[in-house]
Amino acid sequence: MTKEIKAYIITVSEFSKGSRTPAERAKFEAEMLKRISFYQHERLIHLIVTVLFALLTILSLFAEFAFGGFLLLTAVFLVLLIPYVYHYYFLENSVQKLYKLYYKLTKNENYEG
């Protein structure tokens, strides 16, 4: 997914530099909105998974302190949580960047970025 989003951001940046007909721009803007919605969905799913792993990590840590024997489980959750947080951070920033590119492309007057 990261390669796809990075490639699409480059595509949008290159498209915005060229001169296009209004029909081409409208078609590209519609496609861009559709792709942004796909990326928003991906971002939501990863947020849910990241929060779930964070909660499981905290719960297993509490279980380790209370009962003992959960150190390996806590370590596994923590090892999985770190990449999930990193990937969610990438998704969030990429979607925000796509918003900015969309506003720039459509010259939205309500945009302050």
- Predicted local distance difference test score (pLDDT) of residue 63: 95
Q: Residue 8: which of 41, 26, 34, 43 has the closest Cα? A: 34
User: Is there a domain that residue 70 lies in?
Assistant: yes
Q: Looking at residues 84-107, what average pLDDT do you find?
A: 93
pTM summary value: 0.85
Domain that holds residue 98: 24-106
pLDDT digits (tens, 9 = 90+) for 8-66: 999 999 988 888 888 998 999 999 999 999 999 999 999 999 999 999 999 999 999 99
Task: Please check the confidence at residue 111 and state whether its pLDDT lies above 60.
Answer: no
- Predicted local distance difference test score (pLDDT) of residue 4: 94
User: Is there a domain that residue 98 lies in?
Assistant: yes
Neighbours of 98 (CB within 10 A): 20
- Domain count for the chain, please give it: 1
User: Is there a domain that residue 6 lies in?
Assistant: no
User: Is there a domain that residue 7 lies in?
Assistant: no
Instruction: Tell me which DSSP letter residue 34 carries.
Output: H
